[in-house]
Amino acid sequence: MKKHTQYIHAGSHPDPSTGAIMTPIYQTSTYVQEAPGVNKGFEYARSQNPTRQALEEALALIEEGAYGLAFSSGVAATDAVIKLLKPGDEVIAGSDMYGGTYRLFSKVFAKFGIHFHYIDLSDLNSIENHINQQTKLIWVETPTNPLMNIADIEAIAAISKKHKLLLCVDNTFASPALQNPLTLGADIVMHSATKYLGGHSDVIQGALIVNDKALRDELYFIQKSCGAVPGPMDCFLVLRGIKTLGIRMDRHASNGEVIAKFLQQHPAIKKVYWPGFTDHPGHAIAKKQMKSFGGMISFELKNDSIEAARKLLSSTKLFSLAESLGGVESLINHPASMTHASIPREERIKNGLSDTLIRLSVGIEDPDDLIEDLKQAIQLAEKVK
């Protein structure tokens, strides 16, 4: 089945009791049993829920995997992956990643004795050099949030397999429509479904997708034992979001290209971070492993005062100043004070995340209006001394 057909039909089966074409929101905590232990496969809603089951089936299909698991948030999905490990185990992760993942690793799991190495994942030798007997997992985010760095999933998967490690890829920025890490050799794909999968900025949710049955069973055990499950209403919203994922991503990507090129040629802009540019260090790899370059863009003004960046951030009218990304509406964000404030300033600067970096989540509005909006905001920022 072709992708655009799959997005509409994945996980959808007419409801057996009524024929309802849309998966009902099974708002129930428990299921009546005919006799003790005799049930229809549903016992208690932390363990099984039909709306969640439909979503998990859809997640697996669209991510080219065998099994999907839905969680109450993206960080809850990440939390479940790290709970596969035990004290003393080591993890190799990128030095640029979502601030909340860094916080979970360094402030929560580090105190349970799990050791994290944050390195430049574009350096394959460095990855090899950090592997030892305790290494169990490589955590990759690509493109990264917010610097749009690219890691070579296939090459890292080869290293991971050679050393019998697990490779988990946070595929939130690309979405399953642009990149499918399982087909490139990853063991686990993680999503913040809050972003492109939901697509409408109206739900918090996370997902894991795997191929291996034993790994799925282990993650399912963690999901039901730790209890970070999404409610049925949220599962319904993400199922509905997935139906338009294909056309939304096409538009996010085409709008992203237009905006990236507009910023690139603007005399007031110093640097644009977008993997679609041929001089982006990860361009060739991005071209190889992604279907298009997406709608996430970061940039810096030539005027490198915080005041100029602040002026721009508070002057856009269509780009709303907010955390998060991946919704149909455009957002503008200041990583240093918003999404990535949980990373110490020293670490941020070392990794290339400046105090004046501005991140855009380009929505699916008319690109002419988005450009006009940025134009007037940049003009106001330019006037700041």
Ligand X SMILES: *Cc1c(COP(=O)(O)O)cnc(C)c1O
Question: Residue holding tokens 């055990």?
Answer: 221
Selected from 23, 101, 135, 180, the binder of ligand X by CB under 6 A is 101
Q: For ligand X, which is the closer residue by CB, 311 or 348?
A: 348
Interface with ligand X, residue 204, by CB under 6 A = yes
Check residue 234 for interaction with ligand X (CB under 6 A).
no
State how far Cα 49 lies from the chain centre: 24
Interacting stretch for ligand X, rule CB under 6 A, among 23-31, 71-79, 109-117, 119-127? 71-79
* Contact predicate 253/294, CB 8 Å: yes
Per-residue DSSP letter, 118: E
The answer to whether residue 198 forms part of the interface with ligand X (CB under 6 A) is no
Question: Residues 285-324 vs ligand X: string with x where CB under 6 A?
Answer: ----------------------------------------
CB of 360 to ligand X, least distance (A): 14
Pick the binder of ligand X from 68, 206, 232, 256 (CB under 6 A): 206
- Please say if 89 is a catalytic residue: no
Which is closer to ligand X, CB of 60 or CB of 75? 75
DSSP code for 324 = -
Q: What is the C-alpha to C-alpha distance for residues 359 and 145, in angstroms, rounded to an integer?
A: 9
Q: How many residues bind ligand X (CB under 6 A)?
A: 16
Residue nearest to ligand X (CB): 74
Catalytic residue among 46, 261, 291, 310: 46
Contact 356, 273 (CB under 8 A): no
Q: Is 120 among the catalytic positions?
A: no
Q: Measured between alpha carbons, how far is 54 from 10 in angstroms, rounded to an integer?
A: 8
* Closer residue to ligand X, CB minimum distance, 97 or 127: 97
Binding mask 75-94 for ligand X (x = CB under 6 A): x-------------------
Q: Give the integer Cα–Cα distance in Å for 147 and 383.
A: 26
Q: Looking at beta carbons only, is 75 or 151 nearer to ligand X? A: 75
Angle at 199 between CA 198 and CA 202, to 5 degrees: 70
Which position among 98, 118, 196, 273 bears the catalytic label? 98
Q: What is the 3-state secondary structure (H, E, C) of 32-97?
A: CCCECCECCCCCECCCCCHHHHHHHHHHHHHCCCCEEEEECCHHHHHHHHHCCCCCCCEEEEECCC
Please say which residue, 264 or 342, places its beta carbon nearer to ligand X. 342
Q: From edge to edge, which strands make up the β-sheet containing 358-361?
A: 269-273, 296-301, 358-361, 331-333, 320-321
174-204 b/e (C-beta count within 10 Å ≥ 16 → b): bbbbbbbbbebbbbbbbbbbbbbbbbebebb
Is 151 a binding residue for ligand X by CB under 6 A? The answer is no
User: Which one of the listed residues 79, 96, 170, 373 is annotated catalytic?
Assistant: 170
Map residue 286 onto helix, strand or coil: helix
* 98 assigned to active site: yes
Which of these segments, 67-75, 118-126, 130-138, 279-287, binds ligand X (CB under 6 A)? 67-75
- Does 170 bind ligand X (CB under 6 A)? Our answer is yes
Residue 170 appears among annotated catalytic residues: yes
Nearest approach in angstroms of CB 148 to ligand X is 12
Q: Is there binding between residue 241 and ligand X (CB under 6 A)?
A: no
Is 96 an interacting residue with respect to ligand X (CB under 6 A)? no
Q: Contacting ligand X (CB under 6 A), which of 6, 49, 122, 172? A: 172
Q: How far is CA 184 from CA 59, 65, 288, in A?
A: 17, 11, 11
Could you give the CA distance from residue 239 to residue 236 in angstroms, rounded to a whole number? 5
Binding segment for ligand X (CB under 6 A), chosen from 30-38, 95-103, 233-241, 358-366, is 95-103
141 scored as a contact of ligand X (CB under 6 A): yes
What 3-state class would DSSP assign to 260?
helix
Write out the binding residues for ligand X, residues 176-195 only, by CB under 6 A: 192, 194-195
Number of Cβ atoms within 10 Å of the Cβ of 132: 9
| Torsion angle, alpha carbons of 319, 325, 326, 331, to 10 | 0
CA 377 – CA 158 distance, rounded (Å): 45
Position 98 contacts ligand X (CB under 6 A): yes
Return the active site residues: 46, 98, 170, 195
Residues within the interface to ligand X (CB under 6 A): 73-75, 98, 100-101, 141, 145, 170, 172-173, 192, 194-195, 204, 206
